[in-house]
Amino acid sequence: MAWRRWRVCRRGRLWLLVVLAALPIATAAVVAIAFPSVAATICPGCYGLERLAPGVYAESGLPPDRRRQVVSTVEEAERRVRDFYSGRQGSPRILACLSDRCYGRIGGGGERGVAVLNRAVMLSPEGVDPVIASHEMSHVELHARLVTDDAVPQWFDEGLAVVVSGDPRYLAAETAADRCLVSTDAVLPVTLDAWLRAAGTDVRTYAKAACRVSRWITANGGPHAVLDLVRRLNAGETLGAVTKM
């Protein structure tokens, strides 16, 4: 009987080991299916992306001129973020697609670009552009500096990203006395869901947020005001108390 119990226990341990060994594989499969953007960030090569430069990946098989386009876009976007923030603390992986098929494979939708978990930036064929790339990198950079992700409302995050990227769709040229194209005193969306709903129904939502952020930055002496804001938010103050917005 003791021998039989030992065999049963041994078989039980073997099955337990098999189950434990299979768990990471099963988990990876679930992530790959349910969250392809996260999986592609972890393993770009698993989704047909190849490394073009440190931290920069694009779909394989691109001709030399398109590869150079991706690298130069990322370099210019990094420069815009670095110049505004006086350096960089975030170092997101860049996943660039030059075809819709590639972008869909890594989990992209109808957007031009998107920041993934503040760890990576995905660029669609229309998003391989310094404006779009620096917009998404600004999101990553801001959250790399904040202690808590919800320290700023979504409208401030988006408006700041427009300012950093210099997006001409939503802001006048940097040389303009007032860069606002659309202004509003209305309450702007605080949460991501509310922002997506508002931006989906009113194309001026980005311009409104950018206007408010741009005017606050100008009134407070320039980009260093954002660095001071981050410091104070990390110390426990609130955005309203610091900015009066």
pLDDT at 4: 42
The answer as to whether 131 is a domain residue is yes
The answer as to whether 126 is a domain residue is yes
Last residue of a domain, one of 123, 145, 167: 145
Domain span at 117: 34-145
Residues 105 and 187 in one domain: no
What string of pLDDT tens digits covers the 245 residues of the chain? 444 444 444 544 544 444 444 434 333 333 343 468 999 999 999 999 999 999 999 999 999 999 999 999 999 999 999 999 999 999 999 999 999 999 999 999 989 999 998 899 999 999 999 999 999 999 999 999 999 989 999 999 999 999 999 999 999 999 999 999 999 999 999 999 999 999 999 999 999 999 999 999 999 999 999 999 999 999 999 999 999 88
Residues 115 and 48 in one domain: yes
pLDDT at 5: 44
Residues 130 and 155 in one domain: no
CATH of the domain at 60: 3.30.2010
Strand partners, 57: 51, 95
pLDDT at 35: 60
| Cα four-point dihedral sign 205, 208, 211, 217 | negative
pLDDT at 13: 54
Taking phi first (over 0 means left), then psi (-120 to 50 degrees means alpha), and beta for anything else, what does residue 192 get?
Answer: alpha
Please tell me the pTM assigned to this model: 0.86
